[in-house]
Structure 1
């Protein structure tokens, strides 16, 4: 093992490739105060992201847990500008150490726009209840990383959906640790629906009141699309799909989840999107194929259940989306510690034609008490493309069995097939 970034269970393929290409540097930086040592061990940096593996331990060598420390981060250029005003690194465990990872692809819109010199400053003034000063500065030469990044720029390359969304392919960048596809979407006014919601507001007299308000909700999104990148052999080297789709029906492949913004507003109806994948190597001809656009629809379904009857006979309902749900059992699970208990309904269903998921579930008991709920399922497709779900509906904070339940969900997603492709070449 040449680098901690090659640890199999924690490193993604982009980190490993950055090691192979020489974009990882071992560090000998540490600072000690109040008997606590903060030590930066390695840094990985290219035009897409910066990541630092670090350790933090007391004078006896005992590691300080993640919950007992949080580092402030600053990303400074040569003129002293801090580029992390809006967003900061993600912090997490990494093998026997910790990692701070900061995406650059959502800060700088291209490799060319990235400064040649950056300094990542990590500091802390309180660790494990002790006040002190722990500060490390890590200079990073970005010039080499910028030179190693290849960019394909597209001109006037857009797909116009009759649903009311234009998808424009702007550029694709290829760095040692990641591949970034940049899209811009523009929605027509017809791609919005008026929705009413309730919120609580406290008056000057301390009284809580419910306020109903209307807003325009987009039914389409540049995040809720499906596309593939294929090579000359037809192999899929990267694929994006609607986030949070069940694994059984998602076509996602080689996606790298980086913290930070993935979408940014561009005026009233436009959005810019960054979709990030593992590195794609070498000079080759590729093709991006847009395959699906997902439309969000509002639901008004209501399923009335008697929990005591479910053990005798399952209850089956068909709703306005032509989806069928069967509820077959009700059970209670006790809470653990501060975690409250919950009720669980067993669910199976066949979704309507083109429907891929139902979301935003909630439950009311016979007294009108509302409970948030989450549907956890495994999804599969049959030969006709219909989606079948099987799993459970968890009703949070319900700790006793009610006489009756009213189960609803607010939204469902419908897929629309698309056939649009753009060939390009990495030179």
Structure 2
């Protein structure tokens, strides 16, 4: 999936936005996990944003016995979730939406029924998570089947699944002969609008949705909770507009506008207040506030906040390393600001158990889920967070497959993830590296390095399984990280002349060894290094540590009180 603001984020990082545009984008980045992740990837790699690929759909002749088949569908493993960074230092721009003229307005939706679900296209889309499919199964899929044509290209909105938290719009693009036209996330333009029946805009900042091809269909997903959570009341009906300015490489005007019935889903939404607190040995206060359940997800609201001790530790680190943040400036992203966002990020992992002790859900903020393998029944797009105004805490909303009403559960904390400064440094003699393997050990890390290759052009080039942009040097490596460390970042390299280069890690794989330590393999890409040096000094400034010395369990019973 690609976020609708990806291009604006690219423009900011290229220094092409005005101060006003940068301000507008920040409001979006505060709540958009994908843009936060892309921001991190860009800062870490200094490369162009990668395309986000989605899995293929199930075969078109997938059995009509949908309920039986769904139980056998193996959903693809979700990609690692990148963590929430301090958005106080992120910059932003507004989405430019071209005006369109071809508007089709439609009346009331067909009443959602289970029959609609059985006959709906959602059954054949593997990339839709189980929570959204459950919402459709319970009758919250709304058939649209409306279209608009321009330039010989037709945009078809087939159906929508929506509740007060999430929305998935399933669409298609076809030519004059009805043949599907693939959606090009790099060239085609698409946007969403939301308003009440009286015309009030519900998402005036625009953006925040993601889109991508799921087999034969274009799926547009949006966490509408992001802009509805602060609303005083959820309207009975939302008017949704799907607009496009470029499709199939042709400029034109496409707009399909339709109402979505929110009354039924609003009436079944219910809240379970919890309000339990726990302070970890590391000086982090965790607060499980509440759980909101709607047809497609149960949304856990959890806060992680610094204690005074944690704040003092971070301030000490900043002073020791020269990472004191000064007044931020538009278009300038300093080293100190980059480091600050890591300390603000506080990841958690937890599991939910039913009365019989069975694990019904597992959440894990680890960048590499294969290290713990506890994620279970997560919904793909119901994750978002917001940094507190003082920059010392984060509120997150984590989505899982809906929990049953009037049932007792227990949340058990599994892990806490915190970033800290690293002292790792290694000097690589290049003559030795060219002859074979170099092994270096420092700060309880061991790295085995092999090979040295120069990429001599600025052009995009595929080397092995990875695509590289710009000039630089490649060194393959395998490593064993220190006990408790699960991730390293902010890598740099320095040659004998003291010239410093940014380093990104490409094609990395993470596994946990029998000793419990994390093993990493991949390639160092040393940007802008154009000739072989006599030696290289490799270092990384930040590492993430996993803590499992937590002793917090929260029993609770799901409420059946609907929020009106």
TM-score by length of 1: 0.85
The answer to whether the 8 Å contact 2:426/2:440 transfers is yes
Q: How many residue pairs are counted as aligned between the two chains? A: 417
Greater alpha carbon shift after TM alignment, 62-71 vs 106-115: 106-115
What CA distance in whole angstroms lies between the structure 2 residues aligned with 1:343 and 1:70?
36
- Superposed displacement of residue 423, structure 1: 0.7
- Superposed displacement of residue 26, structure 1: 1.8
Give ranges in structure 1 of 5+ residues lacking alignment. 200-208
Between Structure 1 and Structure 2, the one with more helix by share is 2
Residue 449 of structure 2: aligned partner:
327
- Change beyond 3 A, Cα 1:130–1:220: closer
Greater alpha carbon shift after TM alignment, 15-24 vs 58-67: 58-67
Greater alpha carbon shift after TM alignment, 380-389 vs 353-362: 380-389
Residue 203 of structure 1: aligned partner:
none
User: Are 1:158 and 2:265 an aligned pair?
Assistant: no
1:420 pairs with 542, 552, 559, which one?
552
User: Are 1:36 and 2:166 an aligned pair?
Assistant: no
2:364 pairs with 223, 230, 241, which one?
241
User: Are 1:65 and 2:188 an aligned pair?
Assistant: no
Q: How does 1:304-323 map to 2 (within 5 A)?
A: 304-310=427-433, 312-320=435-443, 322-323=444-445
The answer to whether the 8 Å contact 2:144/2:159 transfers is yes
User: Are 1:336 and 2:461 an aligned pair?
Assistant: yes
- Superposed displacement of residue 273, structure 1: 0.9
Residue 23 of structure 2: aligned partner:
none
- Superposed displacement of residue 396, structure 1: 4.6
Residues 289-326 of structure 1: CA distance to partner in whole angstroms, max 9, x if unpaired? 12222221112322111344225453333333x22222
User: Are 1:119 and 2:244 an aligned pair?
Assistant: no
The answer to whether the 8 Å contact 1:73/1:84 transfers is no
- Determine helix, strand or coil for the equivalent of 1:229: strand
Residue 184 of structure 1: aligned partner:
303
User: Are 1:95 and 2:215 an aligned pair?
Assistant: yes
The answer to whether the 8 Å contact 2:165/2:382 transfers is no
User: Are 1:257 and 2:380 an aligned pair?
Assistant: yes
What CA distance in whole angstroms lies between the structure 1 residues aligned with 2:348 and 2:545?
11
Residue 20 of structure 1: aligned partner:
137
- Superposed displacement of residue 364, structure 1: 3.3
- Change beyond 3 A, Cα 1:407–1:177: same
The answer to whether the 8 Å contact 1:167/1:222 transfers is no
Residues 185-214 of structure 1: CA distance to partner in whole angstroms, max 9, x if unpaired? 322332533264699xxxxxxxxx998867
The answer to whether the 8 Å contact 2:147/2:256 transfers is yes
User: Are 1:83 and 2:202 an aligned pair?
Assistant: yes
Give ranges in structure 2 of 5+ residues lacking alignment. 1-63, 65-118, 326-331, 463-467
Q: How does 1:229-378 map to 2 (within 5 A)?
A: 229-245=352-368, 247-258=370-381, 261-281=384-404, 283-310=406-433, 312-320=435-443, 322-331=444-453, 336=461, 339-340=469-470, 343-367=473-497, 368=499, 370-374=501-505, 376-378=507-509
Higher RCO (C-alpha 8 Å, min separation 6)? 2
The answer to whether the 8 Å contact 1:343/1:399 transfers is yes
- Superposed displacement of residue 179, structure 1: 2.1
Greater alpha carbon shift after TM alignment, 417-426 vs 145-154: 145-154
What CA distance in whole angstroms lies between the structure 1 residues aligned with 2:495 and 2:369?
28
